[in-house]
């Protein structure tokens, strides 16, 4: 029985290392997305407040397209990052 417990401990240690490494990058990515959404909201509300529906429409459409098209998602992400750096 001791050998089986050691094997399970080894597996759980590997799983724990994998999950904890991924949680940090997931949290960072989530905050980056939150910042991009806040910037988009501020930009739209400042320049054209009568089109506030775009705050909901643009991310929803972009997300739906990105789900099915990886090239679009990559290009949109790089454009967003360049926009964040320039403004």
Per-residue pLDDT of 10-56, as tens digits, reads 877 887 777 777 777 777 777 777 787 788 788 878 888 888 887 78
pLDDT of 5 over the 70 cut: no
Contact status, residue 54 vs residue 44, Cβ threshold 8 Å: yes
The model carries a pTM of: 0.46
Integer Cα distance of 77 and 40 in angstroms: 13
Alpha helix stretches (DSSP H) within the chain: 2-47, 54-68, 70-86
Task: Supply the pLDDT for residue 4.
Answer: 63
* CA-CA-CA-CA dihedral for 80, 27, 58, 51, to nearest 10: -100
Contact status, residue 72 vs residue 66, Cβ threshold 8 Å: yes
């Amino acid at each position: 029985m001791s050998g089986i417990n050691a094997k399970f401990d080894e597996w759980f240690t590997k799983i724990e290392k994998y999950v904890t490494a991924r949680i940090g990058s997931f949290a960072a990515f989530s905050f980056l997305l939150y910042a991009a959404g806040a910037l988009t909201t501020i930009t739209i509300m400042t320049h054209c407040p009568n089109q506030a529906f775009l705050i909901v429409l643009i991310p929803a459409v972009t997300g739906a397209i990105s789900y099915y098209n990886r090239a679009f998602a990559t290009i949109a992400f790089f454009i967003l990052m360049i926009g964040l750096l320039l403004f």
